């Protein structure tokens, strides 16, 4: 959420005690926005002029409460409505994710993300990018398909037997819905928020951005229909690079399971790597 690169350099070069001193000495200096700041701001903006909040953002940090004071001061400085937090003093905050009832966990610590995914939660490792965000006031979130919204069952066929076998399987199973992946429930939660608004006034817009192409597209369309989940845009790119399309969509964040796709996308939009499925083993 905030740019802690300078603080992390102190930790890397001088150790934990120097890091703690540095944070305390600078606790009245607000941290600059980080890569996820626009996403957080737009999520919180969904609560504007609502009788009850639609979303909550919870801060989870490996800082101690003492060094975390600078973070809360920065939250206040930037006017973010965040009141709940877990400061774990160097330990993983993983055990508190379910207790908070979170639908999505974002972190720079890949091991925490893997633990969250293994527990059945939507989670991603943030890949560094410019924190500019989309110019639109609308929250725009894009997803890859296989191993993100959907299971990796079809991806396993592709990895083991190639594109022709994958295409043949998807055409044959076009009317059989795909199993859900780690981000199915998060997409469902976004869809639920969208239903609180008129379709042309929804503050959230979603997109599926996948390397699939016809005829493998049909199974995806029928799966989302079977789930009764709305996806606003679907881009079937047939292996084309996703970055320029994500920039054209104006994604505030994009989730993909393949590291190469994430690194390419992160040059254009904030990106979360989902270390799940066969391509990450």
Q: Can you give the CATH number for the domain in which 147 is found?
A: 3.40.50.1000
Domain co-membership, 160 together with 240: yes
Quote the tokens at residue 273. 């790597």
My answer on whether 270 and 149 are in the same domain is yes
| Residues taking part in catalysis | 144
pLDDT, residue 7, reads 86
Q: What is the number of domains present in the chain?
A: 2
pLDDT at 103 over 90: yes
Between CA 35 and CA 25 the distance in angstroms is 24
Determine, yes or no, domain membership for 134: no
CA–CA distance, 236 with 253 (Å, rounded to integer): 18
Tokens of 127: 């890949």
One domain, residues 70 and 157: no
Residue 198's alpha-carbon distances to 140, 185, 231, 232, in angstroms, are 17, 22, 15, 13
- 171 band by pLDDT with thresholds 50, 70 and 90: very high
Range of the domain at 73: 5-125
Residue finishing a domain among 71, 93, 125: 125
pTM flag (> 0.95): no
pLDDT tens by residue, 207-242: 999 999 999 999 999 999 999 998 999 999 999 999
The answer to the question of residue 131 being in a domain is no
Q: Tell me the CA distances in angstroms from 156 to 146, 163, 203, 237, 281, one per residue in order.
A: 10, 11, 36, 19, 11
Identify any residues that bridge with 254 across adjacent strands, giving them in sequence order.
142, 271
Distance between CA atoms of residues 140 and 45, nearest Å: 13
Residue that has been written with the tokens 């905050």 in this structure: 93
> Residue 156: in which H helix or E strand, if any?
helix 153-161
* pLDDT reading at 133 higher than 80: no
Q: Which of 9, 116, 30 is nearest to 79 (CA)?
A: 30
- Using DSSP's 3-state secondary structure scheme, residue 248 falls into helix
């Amino acid at each position: 959420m905030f740019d802690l690169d300078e603080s992390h350099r102190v930790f890397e070069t001088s150790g934990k005690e120097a890091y703690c001193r540095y944070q305390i000495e600078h606790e009245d200096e607000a941290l600059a926005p980080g890569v996820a700041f626009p996403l957080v701001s737009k999520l919180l903006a969904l609560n504007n002029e609502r009788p009850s909040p639609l979303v909550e953002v919870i801060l989870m940090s490996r800082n101690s409460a003492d060094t975390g004071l600078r973070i809360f001061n920065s939250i206040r400085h930037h006017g973010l409505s965040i009141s709940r937090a877990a400061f774990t003093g160097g330990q993983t905050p993983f055990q508190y994710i379910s207790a908070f009832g979170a639908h999505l966990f974002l972190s720079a610590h890949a091991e925490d993300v893997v633990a969250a995914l293994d527990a059945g939660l939507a989670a991603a490792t943030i890949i560094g990018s410019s924190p500019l965000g989309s110019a639109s006031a609308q929250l725009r979130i894009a997803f890859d398909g296989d191993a993100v919204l959907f299971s990796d069952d079809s991806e396993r066929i592709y990895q083991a037997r190639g594109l022709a076998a994958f295409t043949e399987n998807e055409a044959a199973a076009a009317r059989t819905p795909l199993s859900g992946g780690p981000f199915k429930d998060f997409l469902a939660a976004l869809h639920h928020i969208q239903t609180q608004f008129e379709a042309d006034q929804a503050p959230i817009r979603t997109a599926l951005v996948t390397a699939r192409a016809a005829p493998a597209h049909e199974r995806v369309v029928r799966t989302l229909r079977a789930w009764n989940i709305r996806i606003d845009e679907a881009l079937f790119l047939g292996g084309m690079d996703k970055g320029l399309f994500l920039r054209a969509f104006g994604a505030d964040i994009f989730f993909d399971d393949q590291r190469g796709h994430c690194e390419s996308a992160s040059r254009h939009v904030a990106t979360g790597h989902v270390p799940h499925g066969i391509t990450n083993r």
